[in-house]
Chain A
């Protein structure tokens, strides 16, 4: 080597030094070829169709700072969730979330909650006929400052034992109604008559007659009513509407939506509170608008299992699915409904079916809407909208698969640019914003529709957005997305299936007379 080193750097050295450089040339050539090939293979039908998939609208805002004083009626499971969505989580809940977040970085509930917008409301009144729930709601309502310990609270809201007193209170501008279904209509009617704005949980009413009565009163009032279908805030559902309005699916003939749950809680076998008894529960008020029945803890805590208080799968879960589709397709009330099912698994004395199917016909739209549910099986089935040209799977993520026999996409199918086994359009809000998250587990959990959506890549609670929309509409004197018209359609549609099931017959909607026959 030494002798080599002492020599001048010769031609042989240069060749050996640079011998492998041509490999880079080959690499560059290969890479160019590869990129060219990929370019030819990558075909974005969304571009060809002129779709701008990620055009997030600006957040809805009234620009007003007006404080709205809210009373909450009913603070069981859903009432508490709504309080949390409105910015009034109980200190115990916040403590749990904070601790859980410390142990598990994937748990972002605490952080998400802290980042929730301030809705500029005060909870001034609480009504619950169960003392324990009332106490809880009082504490939560006083926690606007997001404390994690009860000791730091000063109770600010007032408890009412009868909702009528809450509605008539002068320091209440608006009410959130999260009671069992059998109370919805009466409370909302009374609130509207008292000039109080209303956020009422779904299903809108327990009976068809109540839906008529409530609609009449709301139409004659100036109050803003929002029905609690938070799916109205789900970004992908809005995007689905845009896409379908552009006829991406072609002629839609069939829509299939489902519910599958397989645990006692999912079948409404909710825990019975140990402190529940005739002294702590105002049973007389509970049964006031429905059929009398002796005091029953089961009926009080698991009311969804009985027709006297709830509306079964039709009112509880079909309504969510229906409203999601109604939001996208403006279906309105169907021409007819048939339904079937039975109590096949939870033979616990309930009256409502745990397996339930409903089929609605829309002859004016030339399509069928089909709902299928089991509370004894957890097999996931999504919402599927079937058109002549494509099929849309609609969850938090949208996927549109071209149909093998499509007319609209014939050329692209024949050219092999798209194929029926792969989505030709995918919309997944939040997908491109992974790095912005403090915790980025979202894309794994975001696929199931109703809890969260994404705004500009950030995860947000849909119930929070839904309440926010209601409040902003109150401030602007506007109609929210799930107003009395949509609510009425939801109620009548769900009731038609329930009637079809209970009376074992085909039920029709006479659109001219606005009657269920």
Chain B
């Protein structure tokens, strides 16, 4: 199923490096939230300049708890997955979806400059959109099956298949 020949070594190491860096970013975002007992997506959602759906999510206390939990552990799991090369394809795709949610809740529209928390100057394309696309692209390249734990998983699977 895998054709190593599609990638030369430089490309493989380059993409693996990108994967690990993305993983680091996600892992740290998740760990910070985990370590801060007062952290909640409340303020982020409440301030959302996007559709009312986002701020209404903040108003539902039990839903907010679920969001906080999924966000924290989602980020940690995606981060670990990307760094370790463990179920990396799943991690990349989930990461892309998660970051797209961030993108949609703070869409960098022509009017949105005042809403940006980061101070970035952005129009339509922002960090979140780029991250989402990078992760999506990473999911097309199964680098973890060469460098990462997926090498072991998929090898065993392949052997069983045979």
Contacts and interface: CB of A to CB of B under 8 A. Distances in A.
Q: Do A and B come from one complex?
A: yes
B28 A105 contact: no
Interface in B34-57: 35, 38, 40, 42, 46, 56
A241 to B, nearest CB: 27
B31 A31 contact: yes
Contacts of B56: 105
From B2, B65, B84, residue with most partner A Cβ within 10 Å: B84
Contacts of A19: 147-148
A440 B146 contact: no
Interface in A4-52: 4-6, 9, 13, 16-21, 23-24, 27, 31, 35
A432 B152 CA distance: 46
A27 B159 CA distance: 34
B73 interface: no
Interface string A417-435: 0000000000000001011
Given A9-B155, A16-B147, A20-B85, A435 B16 contact: no
A106 interface: yes
A17 B146 CA distance: 7
A345 interface: no
A16 B59 contact: no
B155 A31 contact: no
Contacts of A434: 40, 42
A27 B84 contact: no
Nearest to B161: A5
A437 B46 CA distance: 13
Contact of A440 (B46, B83, B162): B46
Contacts of B35: 35
Given A18-B149, A20-B85, A20-B147, A106 B59 contact: yes
Interface residues of A, number: 30
B65 A435 contact: yes
A221 B130 CA distance: 76
Interface string B1-38: 11110000000000010001001100110010001001
B89 to A, nearest CB: 15
B99 interface: no
Contacts of A438: 59, 61
Contacts of A2: 162
A382 to B, nearest CB: 22
Interface in A441-460: 441, 444
Contacts of A441: 46
B38 A5 contact: no
B159 A5 contact: yes
Interface of B is mostly: helix
Interface residues of B, number: 36
A517 interface: no
A436 interface: yes
Given A20-B83, A20-B85, A440-B58, A5 B155 contact: yes
Residue among A9, A16, A21 with max Cβ neighbours from chain B (10 Å) = A16
B61 A435 contact: yes
A439 interface: yes
Given A105-B59, A439-B59, A24 B84 contact: yes
Nearest to A26: B24
Contacts of B40: 434-435
Nearest to B151: A17
A24 B83 contact: yes
Contacts of A24: 80, 83-84
Given A435-B40, A440-B59, A21 B84 contact: yes
A5 B152 CA distance: 10
Contact of A27 (B83, B149, B151): B83
Contacts of B162: 2, 5
Interface in B59-74: 59, 61, 64-65
Contacts of B65: 435
A31 B24 CA distance: 11
A17 B28 contact: no
Given A24-B84, A31-B31, A5 B147 contact: no
A440 B42 contact: yes
Contacts of B16: 20
B158 interface: yes
A35 B149 CA distance: 29
Nearest to A432: B38
Contact of B24 (A6, A23, A432): A23
A511 interface: no
Nearest to B37: A432
Contact of B64 (A18, A23, A435): A435
B151 A23 contact: no
B148 A20 contact: yes
B10 to A, nearest CB: 16
B152 A436 contact: no
B23 to A, nearest CB: 8
Contacts of A5: 155, 158-159, 162
A23 B155 contact: no
A457 to B, nearest CB: 12
Contacts of B85: 17, 20
A202 B149 CA distance: 74
Contacts of B151: 13, 16-17
A24 B158 CA distance: 28
Contacts of B4: 1
Contacts of B148: 16-17, 19-20
A113 B120 CA distance: 43
Contacts of A439: 59
A450 B152 CA distance: 65
Given A6-B159, A19-B147, 8 more contacts: A1-B1, A1-B158, A4-B155, A20-B83, A20-B147, A23-B83, A434-B40, A440-B42
For the complex of A and B, list the 3 residue pairs with the smallest distance between their C-beta atoms, beginning with the closest. Answer: A17-B151, A17-B152, A105-B59
10 contacts: A1-B4, A5-B158, A13-B155, A17-B85, A17-B149, A20-B16, A24-B84, A435-B64, A441-B46, A444-B46
